[in-house]
Structure 1
Amino acid sequence: MKQRHLNALLLALAGSLLAPAAAQAHEIWLARIHGQPTVMYGHEESDTDPYDPITINEARAYKNGKPEEVTIVRHYTQRFATLKAEAPGLLTFTKEGGIWSKTKDGKWHNLAKDQLPNPADAERSMHARGFSAAYLNKREPVTKLGYELEIVPETNPAKLLPGEKLPVQVLYRGQPLADAKVTSNAFDHEAQKATTDAQGRATLTVARSGLNVISVNHAVAYPDPKKADKDITLFTLTFEVAGGGHDH
């Protein structure tokens, strides 16, 4: 396995945000690059695209279930961000996608519909944000984070092995979200998907050794239809299991 791939697996934190320019999903995750937990963005777990670091607008760190200090370090020239925390067991952050509108000429613009020169040209418009959480060792207790959309695992998933079952609950604004499609591996379009029941619960199978990224998204009407059509929220839960080069 390439060293670059191994580095991307070391501290993995993934999330999904809309990539309006390409009209397809990007992922965000945390990799240790030159010893620093670095937010990566792109389609492959071993590669990154540049992004505006101001979009990483919130982060949290926990150690033994207790909040720890974490700092977002934004590198504007290189267009990426790193997170600085002291040996966390659980690390999370938020990426704000903003409002994007697609006009009839097929182009995407980082503008609300009513900010376009001609709002009638808007073919579709949406707001997107992503929340991500990673369990970085087997000892960290499960913590409910209170994000707008959240996957809460029944147990710390880093304890598990490939093929073992992981029960989860999906919450939206603190309430169970029924009929949500939860994907066992966000990087694999053919990965197992489970549908949540009335209590927001589903059971997934750990997809593989090393990096695992479980994802879910939820779309509702945007509160102000003059600005956007849809409000899209995404959450990913990331962990590593035996065989992935985890050093915790």
Structure 2
Amino acid sequence: MKNRHNHIWMIALAALAICIFATPQVQAHFPWLLLEDGNISPGRPLSWVIGWGHRFPLAGFMDGEELEEVLIMGPGGTQKIKDLSGIQMKSPSSLTKEGAYVIAAKKKSTFYTKTTEGYKRQPKKGLKNVLSSSLSHAYMKAIANVGDAGGKVDTVVGHDLEIVPLANPADLRPGDYLPIKVLFKGKPFKTDFLATYGGFSTEHNVFAYAASTGKDGMGKIRILAPGSWLIKVSYKIPYSDPEMCDTESFLADCTFEIQ
């Protein structure tokens, strides 16, 4: 399993030269955290890239400058990543305390306006021939484990839309269920969600699993295979000022590894 994940990571890095986030003409694209290794020994740093596109785990890549914030939350407290430039990022220091860690990232909120001449990264006010306009928010999480201590990963970060895993994926195997809770503005949220794993499909926007949360925000994903997994949820509401924008969209995802 480890060799398979490392192979995916090597392919991802090799693709950096040709698949780097560049233009906004891809409004439906979404970002995710892709760890080099989600299960590391004490004394090593965490490394990751930000995937970008429609196909998990390999598509395009987003530069860290597109991010507003990255946090590493674990037994040693919370670290805020100060250097967000570049494609490949890592923790500012090696992680020495064993246990479970949550890496949480927030993309800079961005206006995307579609016109007859293409996409613009700005509100629709003042533009001509507008077809649609949206303010986009995206939030990412990844679960990592250092050593064999395990631990809880149900940390609530405070993102507007958030997926909270209620079990440590390190304790799960194919056939098990991962319980989750979805929050919107800090409250339980009834919604549909999708999940998939690396190798399930090479097609765009194809997922292995679809389910819903209840009024209490609770749902569960059946683990179908080992490997890198992603859970994704999205939501749209009318924008508060229709002269500026039509809709406000929220996206959250969470990635983790199953042995």
Normalised to the residue count of structure 2, the TM-score between the two structures is 0.75
Q: Bigger shift: 44-53 or 188-197?
A: 44-53
Deviation at 1:4, TM superposition (A): 4.4
1:144 and 2:176 are equivalent in the alignment: no
Counterpart position of 2:235: 218
CA contact (8 A) 1:72 1:81 kept: no
Two-structure CA RMSD over aligned residues (Å) = 2.9
The TM-score normalised by the length of structure 1 is 0.78
Deviation, structure 1 residue 140: 3.7
Q: 2:16 matched to which residue of 1?
A: none
Q: SS of 1:225's equivalent?
A: coil
Retained in 1: the 8 A contact 2:112–2:123? yes
Q: Unaligned 5+ residue runs, structure 1?
A: 10-18, 243-248
Matched, 1:160 2:164: no
Q: Are residue 82 (structure 1) and residue 86 (structure 2) matched?
A: no
State whether structure 2 residue 5 is matched by structure 1 residue 5. no
**2:254 alignment counterpart:** 237
Q: Deviations over 1:85-140 (max 9, x none)?
A: 432722111112500111134x1111110142x2xx11100111211111111714
The answer (yes or no) to whether the contact 1:135–1:158 under 8 Å persists in 2 is no
Q: Deviations over 1:3-25 (max 9, x none)?
A: 5414479xxxxxxxxx8513533
Question: What aligned pairs does 1:67-216 form with structure 2 within 5 A after superposition?
Answer: 67-75=78-86, 80=87, 82-85=89-92, 86-87=94-95, 89-105=101-117, 107-116=118-127, 118=128, 121-137=129-145, 139-141=150-152, 142-178=154-190, 180-185=191-196, 189-216=206-233
CA distance in 1, matches of 2:6, 2:234: 31
- Give percent identity, aligned residues only: 22
How many Å apart are 1:38 and its aligned residue? 2.8
- Look up the equivalent residue of 2:68 and give its one-letter code: N
> 2:77 pairs with 66, 69, 84, which one?
66
> Any conservation in 2 of the 1:65–1:140 contact (CA below 8 Å)?
no
Is 1:25 paired with 2:36?
Answer: no
Residue 136 of structure 1: SS of its match in structure 2? strand
Q: Distance in 2 between matches of 1:36 and 1:52?
A: 14
Offset of residue 198 of structure 1: 1.1
User: What amino acid is the match of 2:125?
Assistant: D
Q: 1:176 to 1:65 in 2, by over 3 A?
A: farther
Q: Give the count of matched residue pairs.
A: 224
Residues 50 and 63 in structure 2, CA contact (< 8 A), matched pair in contact too: no
Name which of 49, 63, 71 aligns with 1:38.
Answer: 49
Identify if the C-alpha distance between structure 1 residues 145 and 65 changes in structure 2 by more than 3 Å, giving closer, same or farther. Answer: farther
- Measure the CA separation in 1 of the matches of 2:171 and 2:239: 39
Which amino acid in 2 is paired with 1:151?
Answer: I
Residue 226 of structure 1 and its aligned partner are, at CA, apart by 1.4
Unaligned runs of 5+ in 2: 13-22, 38-45
